Structure 1
């Protein structure tokens, strides 16, 4: 089974069982953000997590194997049109140079890892309109000189 078929199977089962990523993550003891990314095919899952996800959803070894497979991360090179994804793209477009300047001023010349990385998404209730709290936590990787 390839990652696309795996994702379609997982999402169909999730919808059929009326599950949320939050519920699945809590039940499995996994970060809902990481779990979602793995189920959407953007991260590989260690064997024990892949097996737990497949068993939780009542899916077979073929899904567990696909969850374990290393992904090829390819996304469109054009500006995204989905409004939520576009707004994140817009944030990086507007604030990307600012983030780079501030991070490098504080840490030195380098980058934030997207491998040694975690992310959390929270809902903050507000009478003026609920807020999204997006926390990204990545290890700083300095550029080496030789």
Structure 2
């Protein structure tokens, strides 16, 4: 089976068993956002942890090496996301991306926020006008090194 086929099985098995993403994350002692992304095909899952998840989901053991393999990351079905939740992140970056970039350069210098040395946290925050979604991106600042560029 392909990674995509196992991903479909994972989603179906999780729902059929009534398991939450948090329960799966707790079983392997990993953050819930990372575990969810990994089970959706965005990170390799170490074989020992993959075996735990495969057991919880009653998947075939042939899934373990597939889940442990380095995946092709990223990619959405369309250039502009059409899923409303994902589109809102796209929209927020269209509106605030330039400002965030300017502020990173102003406060840190010429460089980028790493998405490799990175963590993300999702929290639910009660609010009188309706619960709030709080998403924290925590990436290492990586300065550009122009001094070592070939001349």
The interval holding the TM-score normalised by the smaller chain is over 0.9
Q: Normalising by structure 2, what TM-score?
A: 0.90
Corresponding residue for residue 98 of structure 1: 99
Q: Which residue of 1 aligns with 2:71?
A: 71
- Which residue number in structure 2 is paired with residue 49 of structure 1? 49
Matches within 5 A, 1:1-146: 1-73=1-73, 74-145=75-146, 146=148
Measured against aligned partners, the alpha-carbon deviations of 1:45-103 in whole angstroms (never above 9, x if no partner) come to 12222222212323232211111111112334521111111110001111111111111
Number of residues of Structure 1 aligned to a counterpart in Structure 2:
146
CA distance in 1, matches of 2:28, 2:68: 16
Q: Per the alignment, in what secondary structure is the counterpart of residue 70 of structure 1? A: coil
Equivalent-residue separation in structure 1 for 2:116 and 2:46 (angstroms): 15
Contact 2:27 2:52 in 1 (8 A): no
Instruction: Please identify the structure whose Cα radius of gyration is greater.
Output: 2
CA distance in 2, matches of 1:58, 1:28: 16
Normalising by structure 1, report the TM-score. 0.93
Checking the alignment, whether the CA contact within 8 Å between 2:111 and 2:142 is kept in structure 1 is: yes
